[in-house]
Structure 1
């Protein structure tokens, strides 16, 4: 069994260098950190867990934090849990992902998500209702940059001419892309379409185990019903309480 950590690394938490060093020394397989570039004061979109934890307001940039962690470790895998790639420039994000994967000698895991806060996403110029489609194009654009010496992309939401961008990721064709989401047929279709794994998100404070457990009847049915060609062989299953949580790799059901 491989166990990892997910921690909100902030200006008030245990320093990331100490956390990464101690986690690796104790045999943890991975360390994930979340990202919030900013958090609107408006609470028009309520946090799904009730009262918004203060940690959401104070997170470090994950790529800076994980670069510091990479410098003092050698074996532990390092990941974003999650990076809200839908609200980021894909050209810049592709560069950051590739750089971090190269610096860490191929230890990066790219955790992404749709985002839950409408105000936050809209502040970045992305309509909340379109975020799934925008995220898909941004990930596909990044894959193009990582895979080719010259890469361009033309889509409805993302468009740029052929460009050069090095370094390329150490892991080929790119680091694992893991979707942080709840269980639904639509989310599973996206995971099968352009991701490599799933990081389930729990329904905080609600008794809905069939919605969040990858081994539940609901989740298995959603996985089997999708028309995707195949399924990632790995998921990261999180559990409460928030803060530092255990992540246990589990197998997803493959479509027959």
Structure 2
């Protein structure tokens, strides 16, 4: 089993370079970052995690800027999004951002994707919440086309462009893995069609995880890698996830200043 962390990097927590170095020094294998471009002041969509939206949601740095900073001070740490809000991102720019990260990191980029929950936020990007899953599908497929074709083109309901040159191409062959977030009734459809792995949030729709993983791998006809993020740092939780067939655990790392973060990482490192 692999071990990493999932977190929100903000302007009032540990910095990207310090975090990247600390993780690699302690033997962690990956860093996955959450994304929110902004939080609308008037918010009607309930947060799935509870009644009050935590402070770090309002203050996230751009994940690809953070991951690039972490890449510059590490050699082995895998650098991922958990999750990138693809329905709020232009696919041509997203393809270039991830491929650029993959290039400068020597092939360590991972793209975790999802459609998001905050309807007000996505509407500010011109996205209609009712069609966001169809939009997610097309944008991911378009990104893969841009990564893998010399003259890439895509013609869909939401994404449409004639042949283009898009560089750089990713270092990884055929491209960085795309992990599908969520645990809803149609999530496995997306994993099977255009995902390279499944990445649910611990405790949100994962109560029967072993059975879910078995079903997914049976439907896909292959051993789909499973990464679980926002995992509590407790040994019994890790053991249960291992028994369920999980390949990678991303421990939940609170957004705190550097000193507090390093102390907590020291404790988490004991679980490795």
TM-score by length of 2: 0.82
Residues 1:32 and 1:127: Cα distance change in structure 2 (over 3 Å)? same
- Conserved 8 A contact 1:176-1:197: yes
Alignment of 1:163 with 2:164, yes or no, is: yes
SS, match of residue 3 in structure 1: strand
SS, match of residue 221 in structure 2: coil
Q: State the Cα deviation string for residues 82-123 of structure 1 (Å, max 9, x = none).
A: 100111100000000100000000001101111011111111
- Conserved 8 A contact 1:192-1:232: no
Gaps of 5+ in 2: 248-272
Within-5 A mapping of 1:179-190: 179-182=180-183, 184-190=184-190
Aligned to 2:206, which of 202, 212, 215? 212
Shift in Å at residue 232 of structure 1? 5.0
Distance 1:187 1:40 in 2: 27
- Give the structure 2 partner of residue 207 of structure 1: none
- Conserved 8 A contact 2:216-2:224: no
- Give the structure 1 partner of residue 10 of structure 2: 10
Residues 1:224 and 1:240: Cα distance change in structure 2 (over 3 Å)? closer
Alignment of 1:238 with 2:232, yes or no, is: no
Q: State the Cα deviation string for residues 207-255 of structure 1 (Å, max 9, x = none).
A: xxxx3146344x25753785xx43453111134559xxx99787469xx
Higher helix proportion (structure 1 or 2): 2
Gaps of 5+ in 1: 205-210
Distance 2:165 2:230 in 1: 41
Alignment of 1:112 with 2:149, yes or no, is: no
SS, match of residue 212 in structure 1: coil
SS, match of residue 68 in structure 2: helix
Distance 2:230 2:34 in 1: 15
Within-5 A mapping of 1:53-202: 53-182=54-183, 184-202=184-202
- Which structure has more relative contact order (CA 8 Å, sep 6+)? It is 2
- Give the structure 2 partner of residue 27 of structure 1: 27
TM-score by length of 1: 0.86
